[in-house]
Chains A and B, each alone.
Chain A
Amino acid sequence: MSQTSIDPRSLRAPPKRPIKLSWADERIRGIFWQVVVVGIVVSIVWWLWSNTVHNLEVRRIATGFGFLNREAGLPIAESIIDYNPTNTYLRALIVGLLNTLKVAVVGIILATIFGTLIGIARLSKNWVLRTLSATYVEVIRDLPLLLQLLFWYAILQGLPGPRQAMHPAEGVFLSNRGLKLPWIEWEGAHSLALLAFVVGLVVTFLYRRQAVAKQITDGVPRHTWPVALVALVAVPLAAWAALGAPFTPDIPALRGFNFQGGLTLSPEYFALLAGLVMYTAGFVAEIVRAGIQAVPNGQREAAQALGLRPGAVLRLVVLPQALRVIVPPMTSQYLNITKNSSLAVAIGYQDIVSIANTTLNQTGQAIEGIAIIMLVYLTISLSISGFMNWYNARIALVER
């Protein structure tokens, strides 16, 4: 039997017939209707496009992306890269994009951690913890996000002014201008050390994977921590020391109106981040709770019966199964954080929407501006869902 195996599908396939150019032929009809549908879609898009171009011409409104190279002249409060108002609109938009990523990436990480903790707390045996987290979820999910953002922003504005700033530790100031922290003068050596740290993360991860694979074959457990210590601490430190170990503290101090120097966490960024994290964590908590509860109790009991410790039960038995339920809805929450960050415009955080809006208002080129915003969100969202789909496929139940 095995020598003469036949693909079972070929038995079920209908016998091949020659294509007749006739309305009676199902395939010809199929092709015809596909052409019609594609034709309708193309003509609608073409109509919208030509209508727009025609109307813009009639109203003498400028078109094209030439404005991107013009001087922006718009002030931006916080930026990861160097920016001043003499730079172009293109650079201003990149600053906006980075600001959006800054809040989205940090927001996703914090919302995941915070939401997971609350989700686990909802299943706690402790009555107070369980009730508190249930109340949190119900309250936070029921209030509109915009309202929460304005609430956080109003609270932060209620902090004392810079002259009466709270001063809990040396170089730390909390006022309505934001949180000021001591920092260092950033130099090339620090960038190199950071790069070495990132490389170290990858090395550690790869080593751990190999160590686990070897343990499966020979049963000898191998420690990861010595490699991690070298890759994550020793090498970055050596890189920093090799370039002269620069260390100049940059301590904020009140000069004139504001604090100068140091690291700033602005009220706008903090309000947006806090609002997004608190709001999304409510949803994440429910997803995590559902995921954990989806794992049958028998699995846990069986693992305990094998003598696994509670931590190992959670890590090796419950979580891998729970993740399969958790990951798909989690993707939606990550996309929501990214898109909801556009509410930043209400509280004065200059994200891509804020800057693109200003740009389209100053240049009058609304269509191009909106197209840029859509392109940015589409790219970020597709990247997130692409990554999450990959991760989901990786942890999916292996089935035959």
Chain B
Amino acid sequence: MRAFGQTVRRALGAMALLGAAALPGLAQAQQAPANTLDAIRARGALICGVNTGLAGFAQPDSQGVWRGFDIDYCRSIAAAIFGDASKVRYVPTTAQSRFTALQSGEVDVLFRNTTWTLSRDTSLGLDFPAVNFYDGQGFMVKRTAGVSSASQLNGATICVQPGTTTEQNLTDWARANRIQFTPVVIERLEEVVAAYVAGRCDAYTTDASGLAATRSAQPTPADHVILPEVISKEPLGPAVRQGDARFADIVRWSHFAMLVAEELNITAATADQALASDQRPEALRLLGKTGDLGKMLGLDNAWALHVIKAVGNYGEVFARHLAPIGLQRARSPNAMYTQGGLQYAPPFR
């Protein structure tokens, strides 16, 4: 027994010494990488934080392959960095876990229906490089309720998910319009939708895109009505960690590349042909035939070509994923600025 006790004591002493020696080194060990681009290259894959399952934005299909608007954006970043859109790992995050996942370095970028707000931009240590979808919060009710306007919701029970801007917008709107309501606050999307469908709530509120996705997933979408009122501004876009401007630039300009491609009418199918025969100077710079725009971003000069070939231009991505769930692009803020919308990219030069 005595010999064993001594061994234990020696081991403890050795550990204490080791601990003291290792302290300064360990203090650096748990940080998220300061240079995200290098970390992604060394890993060989982009890690993208996405929704746990929202039709049109991010959802695994019957083969388990992730598909959606946000997924295509993840693929576009991988294409810009590696020239290969498949080098992405998806990490599903809940509304509550998403920021911690990004802050701790578990994911490189969030494409997860995240609203850009001042407090998130500052106190969460995040940066919002771009807005890829202009959304607004709305209400959905059952057709049988006979409600045609949100102002008729006084006294209603309203289903809402916690930990989002949705909750705060709802209370702001109710206060401004002197509307009394009872909230039912449930964390998981599936559960909150189930509560609404079961009749626990008179209305369900979230971003209009989320309402459209939920409505399209119902057995009879026509039984549900999305009310005309939009009670908030919800600029949705990617989020990255603050303090890594280079990676933020890549995310920002990949989105702009998709916008400019639409402006120039270059699609996934016509990109190779455009590279061969297009003579417009901005198209040549975008596709990397002239200039060094890619190098300035720390990427290959053909980065935008890879993005366009992998996912297409903004209009194509929108039409592929968001039009099927019933979201209109024409006359919405998501139309190109030339069509009266807000989607606008700075010049590629």
Interface residues of A (CB under 8 A from B): 33, 36-37, 39-40, 43-44, 47, 50-51, 54-55, 58-62, 73-77, 85-86, 150, 154, 157-158, 161, 176-177, 255-258, 260, 267-268, 345-348, 350, 354, 357-358, 361-366
Query: Shortest 10 CB-CB distances between A and B: which pairs?
Result: A361-B163, A157-B198, A85-B171, A348-B186, A364-B124, A75-B183, A59-B125, A62-B123, A256-B155, A73-B168
Q: Are A36 and B175 in contact (CB under 8 A)?
A: no
The 8 Å CB contact of A55, one of B20, B30, B185, is B30
Cα distance, A75 to B100, chains bound together (Å): 23
Cross-interface CB contact of A36 among B13, B157, B174, cutoff 8 Å? B13
User: Smallest CB–CB gap between B137 and chain A, Å?
Assistant: 14
Q: How far is the CA of A357 from the CA of B181 in the complex (A)?
A: 22
Chain B residues with Cβ under 8 A from A51's Cβ?
A: 26-27, 30
Would you call A256 and B20 a contact (CB within 8 A)?
Answer: no
Task: Let me know if A354 and B185 touch, CB within 8 A.
Answer: yes
* B184 and A258 contacting across the interface, CB-CB below 8 Å: no
Report Cα–Cα, A228/B301, bound state, in Å. Answer: 90
Please tell me if the beta carbons of A75 and B167 are within 8 angstroms of each other in the complex: yes
Q: Which residues of B contact A158 (CB under 8 A)?
A: 198
User: Does B52 lie at the interface of the complex (its beta carbon under 8 Å from any beta carbon of A)?
Assistant: no
Q: Which of B99, B160, B199 contacts A161 (CB 8 A)?
A: B199
Which of A40, A73, A358 lies in contact with B16, CB distance below 8 A? Answer: A40
Given the known inter-chain contacts A59-B243, A75-B181, please indicate yes or no for A267 contacting B155, CB distance below 8 A: no
Interface check B229, CB cutoff 8 A: no
B:197-220 near A, CB below 8 Å:
198-200, 202
Q: Which residues of A contact B154 (CB under 8 A)?
A: 256
Residues of B participating in the A interface, judged by any CB pair closer than 8 Å = 9, 12-13, 15-16, 19-20, 23, 26-27, 30-32, 95-96, 99-100, 103, 119-120, 122-125, 145, 153-157, 160, 162-164, 167-168, 170-172, 174-175, 181-188, 191-192, 194-195, 198-200, 202, 241-243
Of A47, A346, A350, A364, most B-chain CB atoms within 10 Å? A364
**Out of B15, B120, B168, B191, which one reaches A347, CB within 8 Å?**
B191
Distance in Å from the Cβ of A322 to the closest Cβ of chain B? 41
Cβ B32 vs Cβ A59 within 8 A:
yes
Kindly state the separation between the CA atoms of A366 and B202 in the bound complex, as whole angstroms.
33
How far apart sit A158 and B194, CA to CA, in the bound complex (Å)?
11
| A51 to B194 Cα, complex, angstroms | 42
**Chain A residue at smallest Cβ distance from B181:** A75
A305 to chain B minimum Cβ distance, whole angstroms, is: 53
Docked-complex contact B183 and A76, CB < 8 angstroms: yes
Residue contact A75 to B160, C-beta cutoff 8 Å: yes
Q: How far is A85 from B13 in the complex, measured between Cα atoms in Å? A: 55
By beta carbon, the residue of chain A nearest B162 is: A358
A268 with B99: CB separation less than 8 A: no
Please measure, in the bound complex, the distance between the C-alpha atom of A124 and the C-alpha atom of B162, giving whole angstroms.
Answer: 48
A351: shortest Cβ distance to chain B, in Å? 11
Cβ of A116 to closest chain B Cβ, rounded Å = 34
A61 interface neighbour in B20, B124, B194, Cβ under 8 Å: B124
Is the pair B23, A364 in contact by a Cβ cutoff of 8 Å?
Answer: no
Given A73-B167, A158-B198, is A43 in contact with B20 using a C-beta cutoff of 8 Å? yes
Cα distance A70–B182 when bound, in Å? 23
Complex CA gap A44/B15 in Å reads 12
**A350-B185, A354-B185 known; A33 vs B9 contact (CB < 8 Å):** yes
Q: Give the residue name and chain of the B residue nearest to A33 (CB).
A: B9
Inter-chain contacts of A177 with B (CB < 8 A) = 157, 200
Asked whether B16 lies within 8 Å of A348 as measured between CB atoms, the reply is no
- 10 additional A-B residue pairs with CB within 8 Å, beyond A61-B124, A260-B155, A361-B164: A36-B13, A36-B16, A47-B27, A59-B103, A62-B123, A74-B162, A77-B184, A257-B145, A258-B156, A347-B186
User: If the complex has contacts A40-B16, A85-B171, A257-B202, are A348 and B185 also in contact, measured as CB distance less than 8 A?
Assistant: yes
Interfacial chain B residues near A43, Cβ < 8 Å? 19-20, 23
Cβ–Cβ contact B16 & A39, under 8 A: yes
Tell me how far the C-beta of A96 lies from the nearest C-beta in chain B, rounded to whole angstroms. Answer: 11
> Which B residues lie within 8 Å of A54 (CB)?
27
B204 to chain A: closest CB distance in Å?
Answer: 13
Residues of A within 8 A of B155 (CB): 255-258, 260
Given A43-B23, A358-B167, residue A176 in contact with residue B125 (CB < 8 A): no
Contact yes or no, A257 B156, CB < 8 A = yes
A to B CB contacts below 8 Å, 12 in the list: A40-B12, A54-B27, A60-B243, A73-B172, A77-B183, A258-B155, A258-B182, A348-B192, A361-B163, A361-B164, A364-B99, A364-B123
Query: CA of A44 to CA of B23 in the docked complex: distance in angstroms?
Result: 9
Instruction: Decide: B162 and A361 in contact? CB cutoff 8 A.
Output: yes
A258 to B157, CA, bound (A): 8
Q: Pick the contact of A77 from B32, B185, B242 — CB < 8 Å?
A: B185
A77–B180 Cα distance when bound, in Å, is 11
A92 to B190, CA, bound (A): 26
CB distance from A260 to the nearest CB of B (A): 7
Instruction: Decide: A157 and B156 in contact? CB cutoff 8 A.
Output: no
Q: How far is the CA of A258 from the CA of B203 in the complex (A)?
A: 12
Q: Kindly list chain A residues whose C-beta atoms are within 8 Å of the C-beta of B188.
A: 346
Are A361 and B99 in contact, CB atoms less than 8 angstroms apart?
yes
> Which residues of chain B have C-beta atoms less than 8 A from A59's C-beta?
32, 103, 125, 241-243
Give Cα A257 to B152, complex, Å.
10
Q: How many Å lie between the Cα of A366 and that of B99 in the bound state?
A: 10
Complex contacts, A61 vs chain B, CB 8 Å: 103, 123-125
For the complex, what is the distance from the CA of A161 to the CA of B23, rounded to whole Å?
62
Alpha-carbon distance A55/B12, docked complex (angstroms): 29
Give Cα A177–Cα B191 distance, bound, in whole angstroms. Answer: 16
